[in-house]
Amino acid sequence: MQKLVLGDLLMYSSYFAPRGRNRMYMLGQQLSERYLSPLDRLIGIIGDAGAGKSSLVKGMFPGLELTNDDDGVNIRPLPLLKNIDRGFFTSHTYHVDIRFEMAFTQPHILAEAVEQALAHDKRVIVEHFDLLYPIRKHNADVMIGVGGEVIVVRPTVFGPFPQEIRDVVNKTLQYRKMAHTAEDLTNRVLVEDYGAILPFKHRDVHHGFVLEYPMILSADLKEVERKVKQIIDEGLPISYCDEAHIHIGKNIWACSGPRTHVRNTEEIENFRLLHDYTYDPKTKSYLVIGLVGTTAVNLDGFAVLNNGINL
């Protein structure tokens, strides 16, 4: 009797892409435990800059030496290419950022190196896998897209294909960045104007954010919304400062996810707050819920599943 493997039944799984490096580490660990097999050789990671791909990879593969990430790591020579002329691979697992490496190495050489490593039963984690796929034309064992959500798929010969994953995550990432920036602006207003001295906890919601506070605040959320919109309309530039801070205008603000922001507050679309606090009886806390973007646009990329297609 053929043994049923849970991964064989996986179409796709979708998770909120959390803010903050530590939460992304934890999500990566959980994804590795749930969806990866020791026999998976090619892991494709797809997503634009600032999505948190490197943090997710670090959580999935603790101890893996990344050849390039946002911290400026740049290992030379690239371990995957170091002994390719001899067909000798010293490590069990290799990492390569295709978009970065294409600045130094021809794509077909990178594709050949990946093929040789796989032929030697090595594992290769490929960031920006959508750039490698047109060259090698073979899909990954597992693909992970990082955008507004984190999507995990185990593709078959029928797909999904890297381009499809890329189209979804690149589209949703802009809303995640808008929500993240709007969340920091709202947090700032509540702290500076309404004396919220206790730290907020963070939750996730589709195209928005949730700030959790242990008591109800005296702030009128309609007034908070108006003040945040004023800051948005000022068109303040936003830039990375360090791993715990961002620049907003001339000010430095603390932030747990400094790379996941829009470049200017004016890029935040249709910001609004729910005007009533939501009470969570499980945690005995009060929630401030904010949303961005428009609900009229399909952003999950899988609406075809709900269209009642007749086969």
* Calpha distance 34→289 (Å, rounded): 30
Contacts of residue 6, defined as CB under 8 A and 6 or more positions apart, other chains included, come to none
pLDDT score of 301: 39
| pLDDT mean for each 10 residues of the chain (311 residues) | 56 85 92 92 93 92 82 71 76 91 90 92 95 91 94 90 93 92 94 89 88 93 96 94 89 87 94 94 94 62 41 33
299: nearest Cα among 170, 154, 180, 210 = 170
Burial 149-179 (b: 16+ CB within 10 A, else e): bbbbbbbeeeebebebbbebbbbbbbbbbbb
pLDDT score of 44: 96
Q: Give the amino acid at 19.
A: R
Q: Which fold has domain 6-160?
A: Rossmann fold (3.40.50)
List the domain boundaries for the chain: 6-160, 173-291
Domain 173-291 class in CATH = alpha beta
pLDDT score of 4: 46
State residue 208 phi and psi, 5-degree precision. Answer: -175, -160
Note if the bond before 77 is cis, omega within 30 degrees.
yes
Tokens for 125, please give them: 């984690």
Contacts of residue 226, defined as CB under 8 A and 6 or more positions apart, other chains included, come to none
